[in-house]
Amino acid sequence: MDIVKSINNVPIRLTDERWVHIIENHDDLAGYYVEILGIVEYPDYVIRGYEGALIALKQVGTEKFLSVVYKEISDSDGFIITAYFTSKIELEREVVIWKLQR
């Protein structure tokens, strides 16, 4: 298990169970363990997900993102739920919580 800090400075866990879930359901992410952790810590965007979840996004193409869904349970604990590549995000339709200032 590894832990990184979110943009809100909350420790976010990536457990072995969640990592297995991610690579079993999205085998194209098998070599992206470090990147998934890094996206939570250094995203391009964070948008609102379902049921209190947050989605950290890193743009990997003109219209493609690596998305990491995580939940902050408290100020001192959170966990990664899943991760996936997507081209279906339209930022202008999402609730953007945080954006990297360039």
> For residue range 33-82, what is the model confidence (pLDDT) as tens digits?
999 999 999 999 999 999 999 999 999 988 899 999 999 999 999 999 99
Q: What is the pLDDT of residue 78?
A: 98
Give the C-alpha separation, 8 to 52, whole Å: 14
Structure tokens at 42: 């250094």
Confidence of residue 94 (pLDDT cuts 50, 70, 90): very high
Q: What is the pLDDT of residue 91?
A: 86
Q: What is the pLDDT of residue 99?
A: 96
Contact 58, 11 (CB under 8 A): no
Amino acid at site 19? W
Phi–psi pair at 30, nearest 5 degrees: -55, -35
Bridge partners for 27 per DSSP: none
Give the C-alpha separation, 76 to 51, whole Å: 19
Dihedral of CA 73/55/49/46: which sign? Answer: positive
